[in-house]
Copies of this chain bind each other. A is one copy, B any other.
């Protein structure tokens, strides 16, 4: 299990590092969804064969719910991916202190924008977390795609399209570990953190329920 946990930690560290630098600090400007999508594609290809490249507790819960991961390993996955996101949040503050500290000091994070609306945000997080988990289950667990060489692209690109589609509505987290980073950078508050986390885990469970209903039994 050590190899899996090291892989999950490193992967989620870089996922949130890329998100915070390219999107929050604004270094990739309007191209942030591409920066994140390409980065995630690369890390997933480098990690999938060891750990299935969750980097996301909503995915881990979906794997657990579909009986594709034992409880103890699922728990450890959740712990290390959150640790990776936390460490990345502080690493980003070292690399880009000015823009990130400005967000924290002036409460200019996503949730504080005037255009923020709760219902569209929750609905966006639900739909695109569903899409993310649906894609992952089909490219990482389905019999019909066993041994495929495109899982990194499928996972990286679905996050990119989600960031393009609802980035301005919900901030495009789709991931409770990312929520933790966004909380540290004060882009979302504790209440929205809780709402997003519940929504994302629920979306993952809905995706795994539908997946189970159409995937042939082993």
Contacts and interface: CB of A to CB of B under 8 A. Distances in A.
A120 B95 CA distance: 5
A45 B210 contact: no
A39 interface: yes
Prevailing SS type, chain A contact patch: helix
A56 to B, nearest CB: 15
Interface string A69-91: 00000000000000000000001
Band of interface residues on A? 35 or more
A138 B95 contact: no
A152 B152 contact: no
Interface of A: 2-3, 6-7, 10, 14, 17-18, 21-22, 27-39, 41-43, 45-47, 49-50, 91, 94-97, 119-120, 123-124, 127, 131, 134-135, 138-139, 142, 144-145, 148-158, 160-162, 164-169, 210, 213-215
